A and B are shown apart, each in its own frame.
Chain A
Amino acid sequence: MVIRRRPQRGHRYSESPILELALQGWRSRMVGLLLLAALLALIFRAFYLQVIHNDFLQEKGDSRYRRDIEVSASRGKIVDRNGDILAVSTPMQSIWAIPGDARTMTAEQKRQLAKLLEMDGRELDGKIASDKTFVYIRRQIAPETGERIAALKLPGIHQEREYRRFYPAADMTAHLVGFTGVDDKGLEGVELAFQQSLLGRPGNRTVIRDRRGNIVEDVGAMRPPQDGKDIRLALDAKIQYLAYSQLKATVAAHKAKAGGAVVIDARNGEILALVNWPTYNPNNRQNLSGAPLRNRAITDTFEPGSVMKPFIAALALEQGKVTMNTPIDTAPGRMTIGVATISDAHRNGVLTVAEVIQKSSNVGIAKIALGFPPRDMWELFDRLGFGQAPNLGFPGEVGGRLRPWKSWRPIEQATMAYGHGISVSLLQLARAYCTFASDGELLPLSLLRVDDAVPVHGDRIFSPQTVRELRLMLEMAVQPGGTAPQARVAGYRVGGKTGTAYKVEDGAYARKYVASFVGIAPLSDPRLVIAVMIDEPSEAGHYGGDVAGPAFSRIAAGALRILGVPLDAPLQVAAADTLKEPL
């Protein structure tokens, strides 16, 4: 066989008839078909992956490098009128754990963590002993501490960024500014009232991350974060501090239970200061409850007492029923209406209308008040804003109590003239006094700074003539012979009215007082209305002129100096009896 196959000389292999291919036709066709089938299978697979199954695969692919990330927005700042910060958010780290994983920490690691967190070792053990899958170990710690904990690379210990609110002015502005909860949402005060503006809206974006976690590209739609807007209050931090320190000193000197003070810019109704005592530190609110939290000036009402008298006198002047010099017989210092008797603290005899205000005669003002129909008096109170919330948008603001005039008996009408049987908040009272400081208009109050260029106008209640006469009466009240000579301010003409009201306890008047003073300064061109209220002074006097008057004087003196209001009276006259002023 071998020999047969050996090619003969002169022949080429290809020409050999033996080697001639005798391929059957079906075999080549078979191969062709198989190849075609394989090609079709590939085409179909490609079609399946690219078209039919595309969404699923795309998603799977994306999920390997695409990330939706949230872009956090910060809460707006609260600043005073000069831009001093009253509340600001700053990022802090919160440490949380997956307890199951965290239990694998060595004793040494636990000790390090507890030390960095300033925690007790047992407390930490207690937290990771939990059978939950998520537990906060400690919230809101300093970012540097967070970095040091991250560097330890502890198992099961994670961090997240949270914002924490700080209040540099602390207890001074606590009631007005309020505070936020641990989730950065407002719970009280301005923080709650202006929640919508302050709150930031977090944005989000979809990005492609590379192997190292760096963002390499933005894909898809992006929503930019919107930081909360800053709120600029009308508050002046310096005047606030002044009012705060004076109120605190006054409450301490008279061993009072509580107190409040409000300073309003008489030209545009801006609230320049609003303080309450007792107060609290909003930066540390553990074990916080009860009395210190109450914003007395806005959310508490009290029977104001004699500070209401000037409104009645103004109404009488306005209606032309009396003039400043109309004599009123207040002898013998008592008056019986029905079964009740009202009386004066001191006997006075015949007084002019101006002297009724100066010496604060209950009998005198009751006689004037009984000259009106109840409806006129009710309308006056109503227009002055008593009985309705001041509409500041402040949480918890109250309207006080003003009963409908139809149910008034004459004795009630008489007592209401000197501020009993009606209840108001300190803020309402201060606002009503703004009518005397602004030529008879009741300005809307504002927590926020008001644009100086736009003049503020309100409801006209008294004519400028009436207001001018009223101011003279209020000035007389702080002169020797008036009820509050201690309310005078060196270098300025001031005026105001005292109030000493009995407190109602269990439906009867108790021997406890609310001493108050509301005043205007300077009188020649009113700039400030200041209201001071001291609750239950128990030592060194209880009359408004002795307790609240001096506080008014010191707040007014300091505030006028801070505002640079020009003097309108000789400095030396009253200098001798001016008390020690604060810085």
Chain B
Amino acid sequence: MLRLNMILLFILVVCALGLVTSQHRARKLFQELEQEQERGRQLDVEYGQLQLEMSTWATSPRIEKIARERLHMVQPDAAGRPVVAAAGGR
């Protein structure tokens, strides 16, 4: 009887320790997940900021200004615009 009790007690202690460890590991993993999610959110924010930056650099007035003033581009006149017939021969 005593031996059986001792065995059960031993199993109980092992299980209890197992529970504690797995709980600890779960929390560790949860924290990692949490950190990754936070990083994801920050990257989202950064993506939004980069998109904003890109569209600010790529506004039409700025493109036109650079094309005209810095690159000295001009609108071709009618003679400089070859017309290619659409497929199917309109």
Docked CA distance A572–B30 (Å) = 71
- Which of B45, B61, B78 makes the CB contact (< 8 A) with A90? B45
The answer to whether B34 and A214 touch across the interface, beta carbons within 8 angstroms, is: yes
In contact, B30 and A217 (Cβ under 8 angstroms) = yes
Within 8 Å of chain B (Cβ to Cβ): is A91? Answer: yes
Knowing A168-B52, A566-B90, the reply to whether A571 touches B83 (Cβ < 8 A) is yes
Give A55 Cβ to nearest chain B Cβ, in Å: 25
Question: Given the complex, which residues of B lie within 8 Å of A238, measured CB to CB?
Answer: 60
| A491 engages B78 (CB within 8 Å) | yes
Residues of B within 8 A of A170 (CB): 59
Q: Does A89 contact B (CB under 8 A)?
A: yes
User: Closest CB-CB distance, B26 to chain A, in whole Å?
Assistant: 8
In chain B, residues 45-77, which have Cβ atoms closer than 8 Å to a Cβ of chain A? 45, 48-49, 51-52, 55-56, 58-61, 64, 67-68, 73, 75, 77
Q: Are A583 and B81 in contact (CB under 8 A)?
A: no
Within 8 Å by CB of A85, from B51, B60, B64, B67, lies: B51
Query: Do B78 and A572 have beta carbons less than 8 Å apart?
Result: yes
B86 touches A566 (CB 8 A): yes
In the complex, what residue of chain B is closest to A575 when comparing beta carbons? B78
Q: Mark A72-98, 1 if CB is under 8 A from B, else 0.
A: 001000000000110011110000000
Minimum CB distance partner of A72 in chain B: B41
Determine whether the beta carbon of A169 is less than 8 Å from that of B59: yes
Q: Are A215 and B48 in contact (CB under 8 A)?
A: no
Known contacts A88-B52, A583-B67: A215-B34 contact under CB 8 Å: yes
Least distance between A92 CB and chain B CB atoms (Å): 11
Whether A575 pairs with B79 at a CB distance below 8 angstroms is yes
Complex CA–CA separation, A567 to B78 (angstroms)? 12
A237–B30 CB distance below 8 A: no
B18 CB to closest chain A CB (Å) equals: 18
Q: In the complex, A237 Cα to B9 Cα: how many Å?
A: 75
Asked if B39 is at the interface (CB within 8 A of a chain A CB), the reply is no
Task: Kindly list chain A residues whose C-beta atoms are within 8 Å of the C-beta of B73.
Answer: 583
Q: A166 at interface (Cβ–Cβ under 8 A)?
A: yes
Is the CB of A582 closer than 8 A to any CB of chain B? yes
- Determine whether the beta carbon of B77 is less than 8 Å from that of A575: yes
Q: Provide the residues of chain A in CB contact with B31, threshold 8 Å.
A: 214-216
B83 CB contacts on chain A under 8 angstroms: 491, 567, 571
A261, chain B: closest CB distance, angstroms: 15
Q: How far is the CB of A398 from chain B (nearest CB, A)?
A: 30
A91 touching B27, Cβ below 8 Å? no
User: How far, in angstroms, from A216 to B30 measured CA to CA in the complex?
Assistant: 6
Contact partner of A168 (CB less than 8 A), chosen from B45, B55, B64, B77, is B55
Chain A residues, Cβ within 8 Å of B58: 84
Min Cβ gap A223→B in Å is: 16
**Complex interface: chain A residues within 8 A of B55 (CB):** 84-85, 88, 168-169
List A143-175 residues whose CB lies under 8 Å from chain B: 166, 168-170, 172
Chain B residues closer than 8 Å to A582, beta-carbon distance: 64, 75
A157 to B49, CA, bound (A): 26
Distance between Cα atoms of A575 and B75 in the complex (Å) = 14
**Nearest neighbor of A143 in chain B, beta-carbon distance:** B45
Across the interface, which residues of A come within 8 angstroms of B49, CB to CB? 90
Q: Is there contact, CB below 8 Å, between A168 and B56?
A: yes
* Given known contacts A237-B60, A582-B75, A216 and B51 CB-to-CB distance under 8 angstroms: no
| Neighbouring B residues of A572 by C-beta, 8 Å | 78-79
The answer for the CA separation of A237 and B48 in the assembled complex, in Å, is 19
B90 cross-chain contacts in A, Cβ below 8 A: 566
Q: Which of B52, B56, B59, B68 contacts A583 (CB 8 A)?
A: B68
A238 to B67, CA, bound (A): 15
CB pair A217–B27 under 8 Å, yes or no, is: yes
Partner of B59, one of A91, A168, A491, A566: A168
Is A6's CB within 8 Å of the partner chain B? no
A218 to B59, CA, bound (A): 44
Proximity string of chain A (229-256) to chain B, C-beta cutoff 8 Å, 1 when within and 0 when not = 0000000011001000100000000000
Residue A101 CB within 8 A of the other chain: no
- In angstroms, Cα B80 to Cα A571, docked, is 11
Docked Cα-Cα span, A170 to B56, in Å, equals: 9
A residues in contact with B79, CB < 8 Å:
572, 575
Please state if B81 and A571 are interface contacts (CB–CB under 8 Å). yes
Give A444 to B89 CA distance when docked, in angstroms: 34
Chain A residue, CB-CB nearest to B73: A583
Q: Is A581 an interface residue (CB 8 A)?
A: yes
User: B26: nearest residue on chain A (CB-CB)?
Assistant: A217
Cβ of A490 under 8 Å from chain B: yes
* Nearest-CB residue, chain B, relative to A572: B78
In the assembled complex, the Cα of A559 lies from the Cα of B54 at a distance in Å of 24
Tell me if A27 is interfacial: C-beta within 8 Å of chain B: no
Q: Shortest beta-carbon distance, A183 to chain B, in Å?
A: 19
Q: How far is the CA of A313 from the CA of B40 in the complex (A)?
A: 63
Q: Does A4 contact B (CB under 8 A)?
A: no
CA distance in complex: A571, B34 (Å): 63
Asked if residues B64 and A91 are in contact (CB atoms below 8 Å), the reply is no
Pairs A-B, 8 closest by C-beta atoms: A575-B78, A241-B60, A168-B55, A85-B55, A216-B27, A168-B56, A583-B64, A571-B78
10 additional A-B residue pairs with CB within 8 Å, beyond A90-B48, A217-B30, A241-B60: A74-B48, A170-B59, A215-B31, A237-B60, A241-B59, A245-B64, A571-B81, A575-B77, A583-B64, A583-B67
Can you pick out 22 interface pairs between chain A and chain B where the beta carbons lie within 8 Å of each other?
A: A84-B58, A85-B52, A88-B52, A90-B45, A90-B48, A90-B49, A168-B59, A170-B59, A172-B59, A217-B30, A238-B60, A241-B61, A490-B78, A566-B86, A567-B83, A571-B78, A571-B83, A572-B78, A575-B79, A580-B75, A582-B64, A583-B68
